[in-house]
Structures are given as structure tokens and as C-alpha cells.
Amino acid sequence: MHLTPPPPSSESARLTMRANRRRDTSAELAVRRRLHAMGLRYRVDHPADPTDRRRRADIVFTRARVAVFIDGCFWHGCPAHYVEPRSNVDYWRPKIARNIERDLESTKRLESAGWRVLRFWEHEDPVVVAEVIAGAVRG
């Protein structure tokens, strides 16, 4: 199901949405810097599931079969930080619900294909996140 986004409710909303990045977010970069400093090498924005190349993990360790997702609090409905927008609610509510549903489905598909899936929120401490990832990769 594809929802057509409504026009932005204001110029500031338009600029905010335009500034959102699909990859290389500050949270991802902070974790990747730490992983690299630990000597780990990885693929970025990589489709771990060859049957669905549109769903891409943020950080992928192909040999260890570890897929890492660093989910944004707004886009993925963080239980601690998600705040529903006050405008265009009829668009955003199902959009975020579908994102959450897709995340669960992606995790199940990858795990059933033998991948270890790690999911973190963008607000989590990058030092701790990198240590958890390194432990999973070095296993």
C-alpha cells in the first residue's frame, strides 16, 4: 500500500521533511565511526535479503550474517519518543504503522534466512550500540 503524501502543512514542515536523510544519519555515522575504530569492516545501506533489494539494512556484516538497523524515533514509532504530528494525521498514522509492520516483517524474513538482526533506536548511546554489534559480529 502506497500513500500519497499530502502537501506540507507549512514551509518549516517542508524544509524539515526535505532535510531528512534515508542513509548516513548522524546516529548511523556515530555508530559506524566506532565500529571502524574497532577494526570492523561492513557494508552500508545494503540489501541483506537478495529476494527483496528494496529493504536495506543500515550496516551489514555479510560474512557474520549480521544486519543492523538504526531506526529513527519518528519514522519507526519509538515508544519513548514518537510524537504524532498535529497536522495530516490521516496520512501519518497509517504511514508510521506500516513502517513498524514492515520492520517486523523484515526482521522475520532475515532471521528465517539465517541472519542475526540487531535493531537500535537513534537515541541510543553509540558507544553501547557499537559494543553490542561488535560482540555479535565477533560472536
Output 50 or 128, whichever has higher pLDDT: 128
Output 1 or 24, whichever has higher pLDDT: 24
**pLDDT score, position 76:** 93
* 17-24 average pLDDT score: 64
**pLDDT score, position 14:** 53
**pLDDT score, position 19:** 53
Q: Average pLDDT of the chain?
A: 89
**pLDDT score, position 1:** 55
Percentage of residues of the chain with pLDDT beyond 90: 68
Tell me: pLDDT of 38 over 80.
yes
**pLDDT score, position 80:** 94
Do residues 31 and 127 lie in contact, with contact meaning Cβ atoms separated by under 8 Å?
no
| pLDDT tens, residue by residue, 98-117 | 999 999 999 999 999 999 99
Domain boundaries, the chain: 24-138
* CATH class belonging to 24-138: alpha beta
Q: What is the DSSP string of the chain?
A: --PPPPPPSSHHHHHHHHH--SS--HHHHHHHHHHHHTT---EEEE-S-TT-TTS-EEEEETTTTEEEEEE-TTTTT-TTT----SSSHHHHHHHHHHHHHHHHHHHHHHHHTT-EEEEEETTS-HHHHHHHHHHHHH-
**pLDDT score, position 48:** 87
